[in-house]
């Protein structure tokens, strides 16, 4: 049976090891757990060796998180600091899952639609939670538009638009990552070394961009829910 990204099941390291010990878990779940473990271990290593002069992993995380925080505050305002921990987690989590597909014997969990759907549903619930928390019942005004006479029509359109957001987030990430994984497998089959080495940089950049797009869209949805309706 082929994996989500196109690799035969027998070539995937973690699922093979899991089955050898009698653990039957979907491949994308195993690789998601693996990425979670990697991020947790990296975080613990950084926490144990925090210093005033950052180096190594601390410097790596400070550059990424600091840059993302500045970006969020510049676009959302000071209110963005309240939701930034979730935004940063989403970016790092998706980024590492995307890059996992570039490691021989591994597969990107985001090449499976179920992984992306779970994250998209979380984003949908999270930004609406903040909308209700920030505005209470007045959050309904975000769905009614600026013209009272058109409020019933706008309410229907806005509800449909918001319900389409999880689908859009899911399919955009899935389509891009799954496509890249398939192309990489095909290139490796046709020209194992010559074609794949140059493509690693290009695909690594593309996977980073896809994680950033998911991050930006989540930030935009949160910004809309935090702002007052006009």
171-213 confidence digits (pLDDT tens): 999 999 988 878 777 777 776 665 567 777 888 899 999 999 9
List phi, psi (to 5°) of 33: -60, -40
**pTM, entire model:** 0.87
CA torsion angle 67 73 76 78 (round to 10)? 160
- Answer yes or no: are the C-beta atoms of 61 and 46 closer than 8 Å: yes
Give pLDDT tens digits for 6-45: 555 556 788 888 888 888 889 999 999 999 999 999 999 8
Give pLDDT tens digits for 143-160: 877 777 777 888 898 899
What size, in residues, is the chain? 230
**Share of residues in the chain with pLDDT > 70 (%):** 90
Residue 30's alpha-carbon distances to 26, 43, 108, 185, in angstroms, are: 6, 20, 10, 20
């Amino acid at each position: 049976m082929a994996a989500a990204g196109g690799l035969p099941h027998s070539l995937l390291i973690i699922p093979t090891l899991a089955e050898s010990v009698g653990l039957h878990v979907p491949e994308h779940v195993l690789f998601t757990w693996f990425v979670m473990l990697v991020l947790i271990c990296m975080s613990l290593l950084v926490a144990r060796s925090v210093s005033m002069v950052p180096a190594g992993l601390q410097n790596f995380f400070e550059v990424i998180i600091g840059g993302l925080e500045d970006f969020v505050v510049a676009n959302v305002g000071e209110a963005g600091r309240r939701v930034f921990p979730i935004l940063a987690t989403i970016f790092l989590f998706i980024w590492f899952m995307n890059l996992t597909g570039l490691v021989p014997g591994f597969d990107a969990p985001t090449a499976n639609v179920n992984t992306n759907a779970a994250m998209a549903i979380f984003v949908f619930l999270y930004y609406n939670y903040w909308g209700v928390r920030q505005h209470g019942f007045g959050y309904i005004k975000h769905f009614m538009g600026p013209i009272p006479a058109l409020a019933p029509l706008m309410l229907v359109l806005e509800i449909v638009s918001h319900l389409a957001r999880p689908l859009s987030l899911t399919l955009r990430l899935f389509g891009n990552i799954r496509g890249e994984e398939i192309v990489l497998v095909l290139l490796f089959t046709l020209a194992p070394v010559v074609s794949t080495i140059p493509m690693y940089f290009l695909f690594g950049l593309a996977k980073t961009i896809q994680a950033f797009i998911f991050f930006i869209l989540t930030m935009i949805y949160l910004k809309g829910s935090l702002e007052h309706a006009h």
